[in-house]
Amino acid sequence: MDFKVVWKIVLIFFHYFLLARSHSDKYCQGLTEYDCTEELFDTENKGICILKKVNESGATDNRDCKTLSLRGNSNDALGTIKLKPYHHGTQETSHFTAYNLTFSNIKWTSAVLRYTWEEKGKEGKFCRKFEIVGDVLPGKKLFYDCNFFGGNVQNTVVKLEVMMERGKQRSLKKLTFKVQPYESLEQEMRRDADTASWQVFAYVDISSEKTKIVNIGYNNKFGPLQFKVTANGSSDNIVKMSDNVTGSTLVAFQSSDLYLPVNFIIQPVNGKCKGECQSVTTPIIDNEPPSYSFVIFSIIPFLLVLALLAFLVLVFLPTKRKYQLIGIPRPTVLIMYKANHDFHSALVEHLANFLTKKNMDVLLDTHEIAKLSDPVSSVKLCEHATGR
């Protein structure tokens, strides 16, 4: 065989080897929540999303990142983003303020983020790119921990741009925030005993058919905090499950097995909070049986015809139309709850979704609960925002 042919074959294999290496930079795994933090590497090719580095140069010499064109051309939101600060570091490592970036309502297939700030008179930039493998993330959440700031950019204003793409659609989000010193951040968190030393991002899935272990934040003194979710109601089909690794327990249930009235409780497991955490209880969700408003006729044939029509309506019409046509008022449930943290809002959101699927009108007390469907805003979503 000719030496040139062999050499070309070797080069082709080497090219595909490098390509495979570049696509195995980072894979995200999980059931409903995917962590894309680049420090958590996975060597198996069973990924959901891929994290790529836009460049390999330093933060202050980021030419590729600096010239990257980020723009939006679509009025349709391809997803929402949320930025939350937390205290990063342990007794063995340095301490600084880091940020968790959460993507939700994901409709994009790729996303690029760029941070811009000034450090010692020079402009710093940092870029990362996410690519979704398949189309499996709508309705789920994806996390990325922005813990690259360190202690050199405290009290520095940082601009964040996130461009989400799906085909020819592009959606651009811009946030501006000030990096708070971790000491002041921890003081603010300690004002409420319910948030002491927590990383303030956590989500609770109470309506899934699968058992979920609920991890709410991280306590610097006592390690991860395991919680359990309990449903108190008239359902007899609630099954208790346990996790042999953490020793935590929770009550799992299917939506079809849940009956009203019911309320949900989130509480510490085995006292792992050491008195620094409190239980959270939702209000009781209740409704009275629907009242029928049929007109009763005195003539038996008319009653028979009416009964037959009612039977046909109940059998063949969609559920929502049943309530409207035969005079059965749809029950209205008012949920009043003060959501101090993300997991509170997520709990209320799942409750509202569950009740809506049960053909109930759900009203949220928006004075106590932030609107769950609000568009992304640097003022609403960045607790320490300084403007757009």
Number of domains into which the chain is organized: 2
Lowest-confidence region among 101-105, 121-125, 362-366: 362-366
253 within a domain of the structure (yes/no): yes
Average pLDDT for the chain: 51
Q: Is residue 317 part of a domain?
A: no
In a domain, 321, yes or no: no
Say which range, 1-15, 140-154, 187-201, 321-335, has the weakest mean pLDDT.
187-201
Instruction: Kindly state whether residues 207 and 163 are assigned to the same domain.
Output: no
Helix/strand/coil (H, E, C) string of the chain? CCHHHHHHHHHHHHHHHHHHHHHCCCECCCCCEEECCCCCCCCCCCCCEEEEECCCCCCCCCHHHHHCCCCCCCCCCCCEEEEEEEEECCCCCCCEEEEEEEEECCCCCEEEEEEEEEECCEEEEEEEEEEECCCCCCCCEEEEEECCCCCCCCCCEEEEEEEEEECCEEEEEEEEEECCCHHHHHHHHCCCHHHCCCCCCCCCCCCCCCCCCEEEEEECCCEEEEEEEEEEECCCCCEEEECCCCCCEEEECCHHHCCCCEEEEEEECCCCCCCCCCCEECCCECCCCCCCCCCCCCCHHHHHHHHHHHHHHHHHCCHHHHHHHCCCCCCEEEECCCCCCHHHHHHHHHHHHHHHHCCCEEEECCCCCCCCCCCCCHHHHCCCECCC
Residues 48 and 196 in one domain: no
Specify whether 21 is located in the same domain as 105.
yes
> pLDDT value at position 388?
24
Tokens of 189: 């968190």
Spell out the residues 6+ positions from residue 227 whose beta carbon is closer than 8 angstroms to its own.
214, 215, 216, 248, 250, 266, 267, 268, 269
Same domain? For 224 and 170 the reply is no
Report the pLDDT value the prediction gives residue 306, as an integer from 0 to 100. 63
User: 234 lies in which domain range?
Assistant: 190-288+331-364
Q: What is the pLDDT of residue 149?
A: 56
C-alpha distance from residue 330 to each of 259, 287, 359, 364 (Å): 16, 10, 7, 16
Angle, CA 7 vertex, CA 2 and CA 10 arms, to 5°: 130
Query: Which of 146, 167, 185 corresponds to the end of one domain?
Result: 185
Beta carbons within 8 Å of 189's beta carbon, 6+ residues apart: 87, 195, 196, 197, 198, 200
Question: What is the average per-residue pLDDT within 27-39?
Answer: 37
Terminal Cα-to-Cα distance of the chain (whole angstroms): 64
Judgement on whether residues 269 and 140 belong to the same structural domain of the protein:
no
The verdict on residue 382 lying in a domain is no
CA distance 383 to 381: 6
Q: For the domain that residue 112 is a member of, what is the CATH number?
A: 2.60.40
At 122 the pLDDT is 75
Q: What is the pLDDT of residue 248?
A: 32
Where is pLDDT greater, at 22 or 91?
91
Highest mean pLDDT among 60-64, 130-134, 149-153, 341-345: 130-134
Residue 258 lies in a domain: yes
Give the pLDDT band of residue 307 (cuts 50, 70, 90).
Answer: low
Residue 14 belongs to some domain of the structure: yes
Domain for residue 374, yes or no? no
Q: Do 127 and 272 fall within a single domain?
A: no
Evaluate whether residue 340 is within a structural domain: yes
| The model scores a pTM over 0.85 | no
Q: What is the pLDDT of residues 132-165, one digit of tens each?
A: 766 555 566 777 766 655 556 777 778 888 888 8
Percent of the chain with pLDDT over 90: 0
Same domain, 215 and 151: no
Please provide residue 131's backbone torsions phi and psi, each rounded to the nearest 5 degrees.
-130, 130
How many percent of the chain have pLDDT more than 70? 23
Q: Do 226 and 179 share a structural domain?
A: no
Does 263 share its domain with 157?
Answer: no
Question: Does one domain contain both 70 and 204?
Answer: no
Q: Identify which has the larger pLDDT, 3 or 61.
A: 3
34 and 145 assigned to the same domain: yes
Q: How confident is the model at residue 46 (pLDDT cuts 50, 70, 90)?
A: very low
**243 and 172 inside one domain:** no
